[in-house]
Amino acid sequence: MTTEDYLNTLNAAQLRAVMHSPDIPLQILAGPGSGKTKVLTCRIAHLISKHSISPQSICAVTFTNKAANEMRERLTKLIGIEQTNQIKLGTFHAICSMFLRKYAKLVGLDSNFTICDADESKNIIKKLLKTYRDELEAHNIVLAEATVISRISKAKAKGVTSDGLRRREKKGISRGEGRTADGSLIEQSFASIIDDVVAEIHVDYAAILRRNNSLDFDDLVLFGKQLFAEHPTVSRWCRHILVDEFQDTNTTQYELMRHIAATSRCVTIVGDPDQSIYGWRSAEVENLARMKRDLPNTQQLFLEQNYRSTASIISCSLAIVSQDKSRTPKTLHTTHPTGPTPVLRSLPYEQNESAFLASEIKRLVAYSGGMLSWGDFVILLRYNSLSRSIESALQKEGIPNRVLNGHKFFERLEVKDILAYLQLLDNPLYVPAFMRAINVPSRGIGEKSVSELLATAQRLGLSPIEVVEKIFDNTIPDIKPAVKRKLTSFVPHIRRSRTSMQKRTRPSDLIRDLLQLLNYEGYLMKTQPDWESRWDNVQELINFASQVEMGTPMLFDSDQPEDDPSEGEEWNSLAEFDQDQLEDDGIVEAQRPRQAKGKEKQTEERYERHILVSASADCSAIRDTPLRLFLQASMLSTGTEVQGNENDTEKVTISTCHAAKGLEWPIVMIPAVEKGTFPSARAEDVHEERRLLYVACTRAKALLYLTHSTARMMSGEVRPKELSEFVITALQNSQTVFTDQIPCLSASDREVLAQVLNRSSPSDAEVARKIAEYNRTTTNPWDGSAVPSSTPWFSSTYNKSAVSSSVEGSCNFLTARAASSVLQDSLKAPTTATTLFSTRGRVLNVPSNTALLQLPTAGAETASKQRKLKQSSLQQTHLHANLSSHRVPVTVYSDPKPDVVSETPQSSVCATPSTGALSAIPVVPVNAAKGKRRLGMGRTTVGYPNKKFKAPLGGGGQ
DNA sequence: GGGCCATTTAAAAGA
DNA sequence: TAAATGGCCC
């Protein structure tokens, strides 16, 4: 398809945006579903073909990898792969990272810096915070590390560097002194104590990162900004910069954008103030106005034509977002038919709510006559932990589902273990990697020895890895808890891998080799109950490495200096400038003296060029080792997008509202539309919460459901919940934006669906057949409960999530309700399989149809113990009652007795005081028949598992 | 050093 | 409710 053909598919507003003069800064305000990506890609194509701007001088910035990839795909179709790959296209972080590798020296970094992920920076800050604990306690201040992290992150988003903070540290007044007896001032001084502590931790944290030759995510942008600000020549290649989701930029990102555009001043941004939902991480909608001030000739264009949703979904969404009176008025039109009115339902309890959604999904699939399938549904949550009851409801109905962005691939322990070794090879100064690698697999080098090693390293001015090698070689004396012998399974491995790395071995082979050396699979088997899925993840990491090796499009071809080709010769000749010489002269490290500003422009540019070239050109071979490219890709890719799992398209998606931005589904369901959730109880900006609901609603193409429970389990107790005021207000303004009637999916409804989704309508016969089948196989989800009982304990559907997580391999406490259900199930499918448990060193042989309940010690001194005791005896009573009503034989054992259980032929309930703490229930029979993973016969954790047991990457649904 | 238990605490969003 | 922490013991 040529650019011209593409232009023909644009509407008038889109066309204006695409054709807009490149020299006049442009703001495209684009509502949801208005085709902004189309406009953006088309504009890029237009810049290249009609304005002869070369692709490598175009910079396109997105917020997510997903958006970047989508743009890349569309551009490839439009202008071909070759030109697309020349465009500097990526997230803010990726673009900064690439330039920082290239010009590291200019901002005082080494190009092998490691990107410090959130986990590691949390660890660092946690340690720093500990040193202030006593002091804070003395002032009666509680300072959570999350607070510190977010404050530091916010400071960085606003462009505050640790250098700026260091000055205030010198004030030298001891904290808390400025306080007077006046009560109102006390709080003030609390705040200032916290400010000081945060500032000090910030400074220390930054120093640690520098020592580790490491940057965290915020640093990438911050240092990127610094690079472009201090060295304008670095951005000379840029003729046009385009920024997507501009309403989400923070101050630092905005300034970065301005610096990249410093020469050309050609900027196109796309954004929508109504979809600004990231204020909490310092996004500034204000940047729209700021841009207009900074670039006074900026023009605005509106895209208000929506191509996604039915008219009724649009009006419902507008009814929500327009409640904000301070908002810039903006509207949405659609040519789509009205369609079924969005559903609003209240249900008594979260289980009912989940069950309603699950059964509704089933019904819609049937009543649409097969036009809809699982993959067409998304359930959008305010926050992830709401997914539990949803997941179990879907599971119970046998609906396949996946959690979008549930647990991040690169944050998994097994993946991080391997990455740690590789990071250590690439950057020996990166202490977090050292700390992890040194004792994985376990070598008996614990916290104590590690801190000893680190201290030695500091004392000798060596990297920890050098210290360890020297100890191994007898070049320096061993440390106190002798460690040399333990290093035989570490130093040789490191050396072997390092040699391999220096030969530029492919990272995937490097990993394979490492796995072998470490016998990592064996280690996982020994230590992880769910080692199989973890091993799968390791394999997935190898796949990812292979993908990177095969040349996923990099931001730029590393060796070419980006500048006007006519100047190429000069660049190349300058490339011979001796790097070491520059360093010796202190030029590379030194900050450019300010006085040169304004005058001696030419000299300055020449100077800049010297250092640019010397900082980059000569070392590109080292800079972009295969390993480094792989590590960078790992650290910058989030989520699970690595895997491109095809059968994901056949699953119902569960996602947060935030993660859903930019995406769309035929049917959207939003549970928990309640006060305290929408808006979230801890949200600072109610308007932002409203916009979040708006974003969620506007993801829907054809059908929209909002539900609400009148009671919900929160923080371990059931609390009453009220409908969200956003919805109440919308209803007050217009009764008709919602209905409590579920759509009947009549022939005309199906017609609308077919039209909006651009699918063909099924025949009436087909629909009738599907409905008949549905009626035959489906029972009412809560009437058909497996546990009929009048007691509140058993009134709702039983807790299948507890069951399934047990099957996954962990052992959990079960509620009485779940336990009785499990027991009944296992009686239906009796089994003789037994499971071994260890408690206090004893091994118990327990038939798998045995429930073990924990009871607290009878003494019960503390209030919490007493509560638990009461609850437990209540549970026991109910369990008893329920099981006897089903004529399930019950035997109750107490403490030392459980050994006997293996002899018991039928189901039993084991109750035990917590001193003997039996705390697990084996439930093999429930799902074992389906051939899924079964509870291991080997070592089993008793008690709360303190490791996470999440579904393996790519679903692995039961 | 690491396993195990009891007690405490926290509970949002992402690159 | 379940994850994290802290103390105790081997």
Closest-lying nucleotide for A939 based on CA to C1': B3
Tell me the mean pLDDT in the region A212-216: 93
pLDDT for residue A180 is more than 80: no
Model confidence at A749, pLDDT cuts 50, 70, 90, reads: very high
As given in the structure block, the two tokens for residue A264 are 């050309």
CATH code of A688's domain:
3.40.50.300
Looking at residue A150, its pLDDT comes to 86
pLDDT for residue A219 is more than 90: yes
Q: How far apart are CA A635 and CA A938, in angstroms?
A: 35
- Among all chains, which residue has been given the structure tokens 């060596």? A462
Lowest mean pLDDT: which of A255-269, A399-413, A608-622? A608-622
pLDDT for residue A442 is more than 60: yes
Decide: A32 and A303 in contact? Cβ < 8 Å. no
- Among all chains, which residue has been given the structure tokens 């809809």? A372
Amino acid at A698: T
pLDDT for residue A469 is more than 90: yes
Model confidence at A337, pLDDT cuts 50, 70, 90, reads: very high
Tell me the mean pLDDT in the region A130-156: 79
Looking at residue A135, its pLDDT comes to 74
Looking at residue A199, its pLDDT comes to 86
Q: How far is the CA of A716 from the C1' of C2 (A)?
A: 9
Lowest mean pLDDT: which of A429-443, A814-828, A910-924, A928-942? A928-942
Q: What is the pLDDT of residues A70-79, one digit of tens each?
A: 899 999 999 9
Closest-lying nucleotide for A216 based on CA to C1': B15
Per the domain annotation, does A841 fall within a domain?
no
Model confidence at A712, pLDDT cuts 50, 70, 90, reads: confident
Maximal CA-CA distance, chain A: 96
Looking at residue A614, its pLDDT comes to 52
Per the domain annotation, does A20 fall within a domain?
yes
As given in the structure block, the two tokens for residue A553 are 């499009």
Looking at residue A496, its pLDDT comes to 95
Q: How far apart are CA A629 and CA A626, in angstroms?
A: 5
Who wins on pLDDT, A348 or A544? A544
Looking at residue A363, its pLDDT comes to 92
Residue ending a domain, among A551, A585, A606, is A551
Q: How far is the CA of A875 from the C1' of C6 (A)?
A: 29
Among residues A661, A725, A724, the alpha carbon closest in space to that of A697 is found at A661
Q: What is the pLDDT of residues A775-832, one digit of tens each?
A: 887 654 333 333 222 222 222 222 222 222 222 222 223 334 444 444 444 444 333 3
Q: How far apart are CA A901 and CA A913, in angstroms?
A: 16
Lowest mean pLDDT: which of A146-150, A340-344, A871-875? A871-875
Who wins on pLDDT, A874 or A425? A425
Closest-lying nucleotide for A688 based on CA to C1': B13
Tell me the mean pLDDT in the region A397-402: 86
Q: What is the pLDDT of residues A817-833, one digit of tens each?
A: 444 444 444 444 333 33
Q: How far is the CA of A632 from the C1' of B15 (A)?
A: 13
Residues A431 and A535 in one domain: yes
Among residues A281, A280, A277, A258, the alpha carbon closest in space to that of A269 is found at A258
Q: How far is the CA of A632 from the C1' of B12 (A)?
A: 27
Cα Rg of chain A (Å, integer): 31
Could you say which residues 360-399 of protein chain A have a Cβ atom less than 7 A away from any atom in strand C? 388
- Per the structure, the residue whose CA is closest to nucleotide B8 at C1' is A864
pLDDT for residue A315 is more than 60: yes
Looking at residue A714, its pLDDT comes to 74
Residues A155 and A267 in one domain: no
Q: Which domain holds residue A33?
A: 7-112+231-303
Residues A264 and A324 in one domain: no
Looking at residue A881, its pLDDT comes to 56
Among residues A621, A701, A706, the alpha carbon closest in space to that of A380 is found at A706
- Per the structure, the residue whose CA is closest to nucleotide C3 at C1' is A946
Angle in degrees, 0-180, between the axes of helices A217-230 and A251-260, rounded to the nearest 10: 40
- Rounded to two decimals, the pTM is 0.76
Looking at residue A512, its pLDDT comes to 95
Quick one: what percent of chain A has pLDDT higher than 90?
A: 40
Among residues A47, A71, A197, the alpha carbon closest in space to that of A125 is found at A197
Looking at residue A579, its pLDDT comes to 38
DSSP alpha helices (H): ranges in A90-180? 92-102, 118-130, 133-138, 145-157, 162-169
Per the domain annotation, does A566 fall within a domain?
no
Beta strands in A579-728 (DSSP E): 652-656, 665-670, 700-714, 717-720
Residue A800 falls in which region: left (phi positive, over 0), alpha (psi -120 to 50) or beta: alpha
Lowest mean pLDDT: which of A19-33, A330-344, A615-629? A615-629
As for how many domains chain A has, the answer is 4
Cα A219–A243–A202 angle (5° rounding)?
15
Per the domain annotation, does A751 fall within a domain?
yes
Looking at residue A781, its pLDDT comes to 37
- Per the structure, the residue whose CA is closest to nucleotide B4 at C1' is A840
Tell me the mean pLDDT in the region A213-229: 94
Tell me the mean pLDDT in the region A899-922: 30
Going by their DSSP bridges, the two strands A240-243 and A58-62 should be labelled as parallel
Q: What is the dihedral of CA A948, A952, A957, A958, to 10 degrees?
A: -60
- Per the structure, the residue whose CA is closest to nucleotide C4 at C1' is A946
Straight-line distance from the first to the last Cα atom of chain A, in angstroms, rounded to the nearest whole number: 44
Looking at residue A787, its pLDDT comes to 28
Tell me the mean pLDDT in the region A562-577: 32
Closest-lying nucleotide for A810 based on CA to C1': C2
Per the domain annotation, does A753 fall within a domain?
yes
Among residues A128, A153, A126, the alpha carbon closest in space to that of A217 is found at A153
Tell me the mean pLDDT in the region A325-335: 89
Residue ending a domain, among A764, A783, A802, is A783
Looking at residue A921, its pLDDT comes to 33
For A227-257, letters b (16+ CB in 10 Å) and e give: bbbebebbbbbbbbbbbbbbbbbbbbbbbbb
Q: How far is the CA of A869 from the C1' of B7 (A)?
A: 15
CATH code of A455's domain:
1.10.486.10
- Per the structure, the residue whose CA is closest to nucleotide B7 at C1' is A864
Residues A663 and A761 in one domain: yes
Q: Is the CB of A815 under 7 A from strand C?
A: yes
Decide: A421 and A634 in contact? Cβ < 8 Å. no
Tell me the mean pLDDT in the region A271-275: 94
Residues A467 and A386 in one domain: no
pLDDT for residue A352 is more than 70: yes
- Among all chains, which residue has been given the structure tokens 């900004």? A225
Looking at residue A602, its pLDDT comes to 55
Who wins on pLDDT, A141 or A167? A141
Looking at residue A648, its pLDDT comes to 65
Q: What is the DSSP letter of A462?
A: -
Q: How far apart are CA A338 and CA A68, in angstroms?
A: 33
Q: How far is the CA of A267 from the C1' of C7 (A)?
A: 60
Model confidence at A880, pLDDT cuts 50, 70, 90, reads: low
Q: Which residues contact A593 (CB under 8 A, 6 or more apart)?
A: none
Looking at residue A604, its pLDDT comes to 54
As given in the structure block, the two tokens for residue A248 are 């989400």
Model confidence at A851, pLDDT cuts 50, 70, 90, reads: very low
Closest-lying nucleotide for A449 based on CA to C1': B1
Distances (CA, A) of A658 to A280, A323, A405, A519, A831: 12, 20, 10, 40, 45
Per the domain annotation, does A735 fall within a domain?
yes
pLDDT for residue A935 is more than 60: no
pLDDT for residue A364 is more than 80: yes
Q: How far apart are CA A244 and CA A255, in angstroms?
A: 15
Closest-lying nucleotide for A658 based on CA to C1': B13
- Tell me which nucleotides of strand B come within 7 A of a protein CB: 1-2, 4-15
Q: Is the CB of A812 under 7 A from strand C?
A: yes
Decide: A695 and A275 in contact? Cβ < 8 Å. yes
Q: How far is the CA of A700 from the C1' of C4 (A)?
A: 39
Model confidence at A273, pLDDT cuts 50, 70, 90, reads: very high
Going by their DSSP bridges, the two strands A240-243 and A214-216 should be labelled as unpaired
Quick one: what percent of chain A has pLDDT higher than 70?
A: 68
Tell me the mean pLDDT in the region A491-513: 94
Q: What is the pLDDT of residues A672-708, one digit of tens each?
A: 999 888 988 878 889 999 999 999 999 999 999 999 8
Among residues A821, A826, A857, A850, the alpha carbon closest in space to that of A836 is found at A850
Could you say which residues 699-718 of protein chain A have a Cβ atom less than 7 A away from any atom in strand C? 713, 715-716
Q: How far is the CA of A940 from the C1' of B4 (A)?
A: 13
Q: How far apart are CA A495 and CA A845, in angstroms?
A: 46
Q: How far is the CA of A679 from the C1' of B8 (A)?
A: 28
Model confidence at A612, pLDDT cuts 50, 70, 90, reads: low
- Per the structure, the residue whose CA is closest to nucleotide B13 at C1' is A658
A705 forms beta bridges with A343, A669
Q: Is the CB of A598 under 7 A from strand C?
A: no
Run of H or E residues at A526 = helix A520-527
Q: What is the DSSP letter of A34?
A: S
Residues A447 and A322 in one domain: no
Distances (CA, A) of A393 to A286, A387, A777, A782, A927: 42, 10, 17, 11, 16
Q: What is the DSSP letter of A882?
A: H
Q: What is the pLDDT of residues A94-139, one digit of tens each?
A: 999 999 999 999 999 999 999 998 888 888 888 888 777 777 767 7
Model confidence at A443, pLDDT cuts 50, 70, 90, reads: confident
DSSP alpha helices (H): ranges in A550-637? 568-574, 579-584, 601-616, 620-623, 626-636
pLDDT for residue A934 is more than 60: no
Binding-site residues of A: 30-37
pLDDT for residue A463 is more than 50: yes
CA A563 to chain centre: 36
Residues A667 and A776 in one domain: yes
Residues A205 and A73 in one domain: no
Closest-lying nucleotide for A860 based on CA to C1': B6
Residues A437 and A451 in one domain: yes
Per the domain annotation, does A120 fall within a domain?
yes
Q: What is the DSSP string of A770-806?
A: HHHHHHHH---TTTT-S---SSGGGSS---HHHHHHH
Tell me the mean pLDDT in the region A297-321: 95
Could you say which residues 37-76 of protein chain A have a Cβ atom less than 7 A away from any atom in strand C? none
Who wins on pLDDT, A242 or A147? A242
The sign one gets for the Cα dihedral A283, A285, A291, A293 is negative
Lowest mean pLDDT: which of A80-89, A740-749, A751-760, A774-783? A774-783
Q: What is the 3-state secondary structure (H, E, C) of A278-303?
A: CHHHCCCCCHHHHHHHHCCCCEEEEE
Residues A354 and A255 in one domain: no
Per the domain annotation, does A765 fall within a domain?
yes
User: Listing from the earlier edge strand, what are the strands of the sheet with A299-303?
Assistant: A88-91, A58-62, A240-243, A267-271, A26-30, A299-303
Decide: A542 and A659 in contact? Cβ < 8 Å. no
- Tell me which nucleotides of strand C come within 7 A of a protein CB: 1-5
A838 forms beta bridges with A843
Decide: A561 and A617 in contact? Cβ < 8 Å. yes
Q: Is the CB of A944 under 7 A from strand C?
A: yes
Q: How far is the CA of A432 from the C1' of B9 (A)?
A: 27
Looking at residue A51, its pLDDT comes to 94
DSSP alpha helices (H): ranges in A809-955? 816-828, 863-885, 924-928
Looking at residue A869, its pLDDT comes to 53
Whether the link from the prior residue into A679 is cis, omega within 30° of 0, is yes
- Per the structure, the residue whose CA is closest to nucleotide C9 at C1' is A840
Residues A383 and A401 in one domain: yes
For A913-949, letters b (16+ CB in 10 Å) and e give: bbebbbbbbbbbbbbbeeeebbbeeeebbbeebeeeb
Burial class from Cβ neighbours inside 10 Å (0-12, 13-18, 19+) for residue A715 reads exposed
Q: Is the CB of A946 under 7 A from strand C?
A: yes
Residue ending a domain, among A756, A783, A810, is A783
Q: Which of A775-784, A902-911, A915-924 has the highest mean pLDDT?
A: A775-784
Model confidence at A874, pLDDT cuts 50, 70, 90, reads: low
Residues A276 and A158 in one domain: no
Q: Is the CB of A796 under 7 A from strand C?
A: no
Tell me the mean pLDDT in the region A541-556: 73
Model confidence at A554, pLDDT cuts 50, 70, 90, reads: very low
Q: How far is the CA of A389 from the C1' of B1 (A)?
A: 39
Q: Is the CB of A870 under 7 A from strand C?
A: no
Binding-site residues of A for ATP: 30-37
Q: How far apart are CA A421 and CA A879, in angstroms?
A: 50
Lowest mean pLDDT: which of A250-264, A327-341, A517-531? A517-531
Looking at residue A883, its pLDDT comes to 52
Looking at residue A631, its pLDDT comes to 92
What average pLDDT does chain A have? 74
Q: What is the pLDDT of residues A22-57, one digit of tens each?
A: 999 999 999 999 999 999 999 999 999 999 999 999
- Per the structure, the residue whose CA is closest to nucleotide C5 at C1' is A946
